[in-house]
A and B are shown apart, each in its own frame.
Chain A
Amino acid sequence: MDPYIREHNIERNDIANAGTVASLTKRALKQRGLSREFIKQVTIGVYEAEINVVIHSYGGTANVAIDDDFVEITFQDKGPGIENIEQALQAGYSTASSYAIENGFGAGMGLPNIQAVSDEMDLQSSENGTYLRIKFNIKEDSYEH
């Protein structure tokens, strides 16, 4: 199939639209005949990363690329960056605002969940912004049988 390439803007604190990238990516994966289990793993990863941009950053972009062999999503935000990446990767550690927590976020499970579901995860951060790339390899058993 032709590669699927999309760029999405993600606005700061736009909780009402959080999940749009995950939802559109899920739809694209369904159309390619990928299995429910594979789609779920990708959806979890994309959703968590998308939420992170919404609740922690000044806004940013998500680039989604789906090819025959992989799904790769890169998120780039405009800051303020993750102060301590090692801590951020610990399950349960959170710097979420009360606004985010009131909306059901901020359990400190975002990055650990992304790490658990993805095949590759690359996270770099400075005060100018955070870059996150997550990759899922498509194998023979990733398709619906």
Chain B
Amino acid sequence: MNIDVLTTDSRFKAINDSAPDAVISGIFACDMLSHVMGHAAEGNVLVTVLSNINVLGVASLLDLPAIVYPHKIVPNETVIAKANELGIALFSTSLTTAETVILLHELGV
């Protein structure tokens, strides 16, 4: 499924547009990076409240094309610049982690 499903939904606010053709499949929600590292699968959308730069490192290593920050979290400019460099799409939403996962599931991710 194309990342359009997120960019066209008003409940997700696109923070950057660095991966317009990204293909996403599946959801992984977690705030511990070792757990993400060990269990997330290629193509997953990562839902996390962690907004530091290491999340991008993990996403890049696992080929995760998109990160959704719940609770209106927006990462700093350094993180956004790094995401642009790595081609990882970032989104923010006012929903909680659980609500975000449910919505993504309803959208067919």
Residue positions of A touching B, CB distance < 8 A: 15-16, 18-19, 22-23, 26, 36, 40, 43-44, 47-48, 51, 103-105, 107-110, 113, 116
Is B33 touching A104 in the complex (CB atoms < 8 A)?
yes
Is B58 touching A47 in the complex (CB atoms < 8 A)?
yes
A-B contact count (CB 8 A): 62
With A36-B42, A103-B52 known as contacts, the answer to whether A19 contacts B58 (CB < 8 A) is: yes
Is A107 touching B32 in the complex (CB atoms < 8 A)?
yes
Residues of chain B in range 36-52 having any CB-CB distance to chain A below 8 Å: 37-38, 42, 48, 50, 52
Count of B interface residues, CB-CB < 8 Å: 19
Is B38 touching A113 in the complex (CB atoms < 8 A)?
yes
Main secondary structure of the interface of B (DSSP, over half): helix
Main secondary structure of the interface of A (DSSP, over half): helix
- B contact residues around A113 at 8 Å (CB): 34, 37-38
Residue positions of B touching A, CB distance < 8 A: 31-35, 37-38, 42, 48, 50, 52-55, 57-58, 60-62
